[in-house]
Structure 1
Amino acid sequence: MRIHFIAIGGSAMHNLAIALHKKGYRVTGSDDAIFEPSSSRLARHGLLPEEMGWDEANITADLDAVILGMHALTDNPELLKAQELGVKIYSYPEYIYEQTKDKLRVVIGGSHGKTTITSMILHVLNFYERDFDYLVGAQLAGFDTMVKITNEAPLIVIEGDEYLASPIDRRPKFHLYKANLAVISGIAWDHINVFKTYADYTRQFELFIDTIEPGGKLIYCSADKDLEAIVKNSKADIEKIAYAIPAHVVKDGITYLLPDETPLKVFGDHNLMNLNAAKSICAELGIDSKQFDAAIGSFTGAAKRLELLLSEAETNVYKDFAHSPSKLKATIEAVKAQFPNRKLVACIELHTFSSLNKDFLVQYADTMSAADIAIVYIDKKTFQHKKLDPFTKIDVQTAFNCPGLLFFDNSELLKEYLLKVNFYRSNLLLMSSGNFGGVDLVKLARELNIVEQGI
């Protein structure tokens, strides 16, 4: 099979390219820019394009398929040539389905928790040496790539994103997988650039339920009342299984799963609900409750999901991928509940198109109220790149309903402020889908002032 990737450098795209290369396919690709870690991974497998840019000569009639990444534009010369020649063009979710239509497909959807639930399932399956394929949105410990597709594995576990499939296929990705077993973790409005209203956004989850194969199963979070209403109103020919927070106890900053008091390396109500979703899926795959608990105790979390950067005396520093209002609120409340006797300094970088939209900003009201010190950072260059009007400090404080909130648009000034704070008996939570203007967060954590006298 000869496959060409247009925009091979994307996170999912380069991993799929590597997976197909390992499967024995002849893979080529192009992109106008490829960054780390994609470039090193592609180079390791001989898949890194020799030159950056698009060249219609890459597209020939003998190609079996072209896989089109979201980064490409509709007037991409390679795309136009493929259309002219009649070469079959797939989005990557379409091609994942094409490769796995004879397997059991487990699809994890929802506005939040997708990566963690998927990662938990993969961890447990790996623990018991089960054979499976997967597609996940973060690099996981013990897994070389974020995509694995083989001929042999009887099932695939897919993190099902609700964003668009490709520039020429405006369907959400998770509509294309046709799940046999599905999860919806919850619904909180996101991707305002595509789904202009909450009703439009929730409609995508209604449609997702309709894509589940007849006789399949949907596992959903009953704590989300909007989701529960959607599930109850669905006429899909599937079994519906609710989940909630499992029984647990917190002692000295460690969460224990009941009844056997299994110690966990993750915490927070949102992670415990994620755990129960993963447990329900694993039960459908033949892994019982005791087996699941025995395996999940060693799960340390997905990359950038409450990732511990520093633990010193009575101070922890975490980085987290939280960026949407629901994720921000859940993550702050989780850290505060786990360490009620420590002060919490919480800093969010607003980076996504939705979060930088003035009409959407009000969705962040009261999301940081559990923090003792709330900080919002926006790289002023981000507004320029996205061609948006910048926010003022008052804009942000008003939208967050937090008059004492601190606002920075310069990463050096933010770092300068944090290095002046005394973090004794305090936790620092750094949240972003960006990179805080290039600040080395590990180095910052090591340089923090931690002196026994209170903040």
Structure 2
Amino acid sequence: MNIHFIAIGGSAMHNLALALHHKGYKVTGSDDTIFEPSKSRLSKHNLLPETFGWFPERITNSLDAVILGMHAKADNPELLKAKELGLKIYSYPEFLYEQSKQKTRVVIGGSHGKTTITAMILHVMNYHDKEVDYMVGAQLEGFDTMVHLTEENDFIVLEGDEYLSSPIDRRPKFHLYKPNIALLSGIAWDHINVFPTFENYVEQFKIFADSMSRGGILVYNEEDPTVKQVAEEATAPTRKHAYTTAAYSVENGKTLLETPEGPMPIEIFGAHNLNNLAGAKWICQHMGVDEDEFYEAISTFKGASKRLEKITENNNAVVYKDYAHSPSKVSATTKAVKNQYPDRKLVACLELHTYSSLNAEFLDQYEGALDAADKAIVFYSPDAVQIKQLDEVKAEQINEAFKRDDLVIFTNPADFKTYLYAQDFKDSVLLLMSSGNYGGLDFNELKSVI
């Protein structure tokens, strides 16, 4: 097949382009800008556009399909040309469904934990040499790409994102996969620019549960009351399996998972990750992996990229980087680190970076999110607020939202860096939570000053 990508440089899009290239498809693409690592990875396989920009003349009847990325606009010149020619235009999730219609589709959904659960499942499958197709939202150790597609594999494991499919398809991505096996990990209001109320957000998960294929299996976290309600009311699944957080203990900074054979040391930690592990175990068992096989494999799982990722450790301190940005993730991650290192001072730095986190109407959702930290720091950029065309956010509003009198707030990257580098990190854990980089913080440089 001859496939053209409009906005090929995106994290998800370039991985799909690489997967189709490896599958033997002819792949071309356009974008107005492409950043690393997408740029180098596309260049390595001669898929990087020679010139950045949109070129409608590249859209011809020789194309079998066009895949449209979220970065493109609805009036994109190449998109308009594709419509004019009557070409088949797919969103990213639509095309993944087309590639997996004959497979058993396993979809991992939830406001939080879905990347980690998907990564756990793939780690277990890879450990036991069980070949599956997949799409996951983070680069994983031992995997070349975030997307892998074949003709022969029976299963495909998909991370089920609830965000929109494309500029011209406003349905959440996970509504399009029609899973045979699905998991719901948790529901906590997010993406408020698209889902203006919590009720509207929850409705998307109800639609997901009812979009399952006939005879499907729904695995769900019954410790989340909203998930429990959605799962119990769902009519599409034939079977439902509830799970709760796996039993564990922490001894001398090491987490021990309770198994039928006794306590087993594992690499990950935190109640939220042990909850993720319990869900992943159910899914793996439905995919033909025995419980003891699961335990053997999961003992070596070190986590998904940017999810409680240890970036340095010495005699003084440990430093973790985490993608957490929504209130529930920030709270869970902060508590997990404090529980893992109860005798150390926890310095937690949160960057408010996403549309939701910078929205004044959403800020009060962060109440108590940093309470587990001994020292709590919030960084945000007023420029980012302006770029997202949001109302001005003042430090007083953030202070009031978090309900923490000793909260330290920065809006200037240089001031934040100076303050951070001046801290005494003896017997400390530094936790950096952001989907950005604090206005340009060099994490490698940070390692040398801790």
Shift of 1:373: 0.7
Which residue of structure 1 aligns with residue 226 of structure 2? Answer: 226
Equivalent positions of 1:234-313 (< 5 A) are 234-259=234-259, 260-313=262-315
1:378 paired with 2:383, answer: no
Q: Is the 8 A contact 2:217 2:237 kept in 1?
A: no
User: Whole-Å Cα distance in 1 between the matches of residues 218 and 234 of structure 2?
Assistant: 11
Residue 452 of structure 1 corresponds to which residue in structure 2?
A: none
> Distance between the aligned counterparts of 1:308 and 1:443, measured in 2?
15
Conservation of the 8 A alpha-carbon contact between 1:415 and 1:444: no
Q: Deviations over 1:244-263 (max 9, x none)?
A: 11111111011111132211
Residue 146 of structure 1 is matched in structure 2 by 146
Q: CA offsets, 1:78-136, max 9 Å, x none?
A: 10111111000000100000011101111000000011000000000000001111100
What's 1:332 paired with? 334
Equivalent position SS for 1:28: strand
Displacement of 1:390 in angstroms is: 3.0
- Look up the SS of the partner of 1:436 in the other structure: coil
Alpha-carbon distance, 1:166 to partner: 0.2
2:342 partner letter: P
**Given residue 116 of structure 1, which amino acid in structure 2 is its aligned partner?**
T
2:390 corresponding residue in structure 1:
388
**1:361 aligned residue:** 363
- Between the aligned partners of 1:198 and 1:391, the Cα distance in structure 2 is 22
Give, in whole Å, the separation in 2 of the partners of 1:388 and 1:283: 46
Instruction: Among all aligned residue pairs of Structure 1 and Structure 2, give the percentage whose two residues are the same amino acid.
Output: 58
Partner of 2:20: 20
Letter of the 1:192 partner, please give it: I
Deviates more, 1:233-242 or 1:340-349: 233-242
Q: Give the TM-score, by structure 1 length.
A: 0.97
Q: Does 1:135 align with 2:135?
A: yes
Amino acid at match of 2:21: H
Q: Report the AA paired with residue 157 of structure 2.
A: V
SS of the aligned residue for 1:27 comes to strand
What RMSD in Å do the two structures reach over aligned CA positions? Answer: 0.9
SS at structure 2 position matched to 1:179: coil
Which one-letter code corresponds to 2:203 in the other structure?
Answer: R
Match of 2:432 in 1: 430
Partner of 1:451: none
> In 2, distance between residues paired with 1:304 and 1:237?
33
Q: Retained in 2: the 8 A contact 1:179–1:216? A: yes
- Output aligned runs, 1:99-178, within 5 Å: 99-178=99-178
Q: How many residues align?
A: 448
- Mean Cα deviation higher: 410-419 or 202-211: 410-419
Task: State the shift of 1:382 in Å.
Answer: 1.1
Matches of 2:361 and 2:240 in 1, distance apart? 35
CA contact (8 A) 2:216 2:236 kept: no
How far residue 314 of structure 1 moved from its aligned partner, in angstroms, is 5.0
Q: Any conservation in 2 of the 1:214–1:238 contact (CA below 8 Å)? A: yes
Q: What CA distance in whole angstroms lies between the structure 1 residues aligned with 2:320 and 2:447?
A: 9
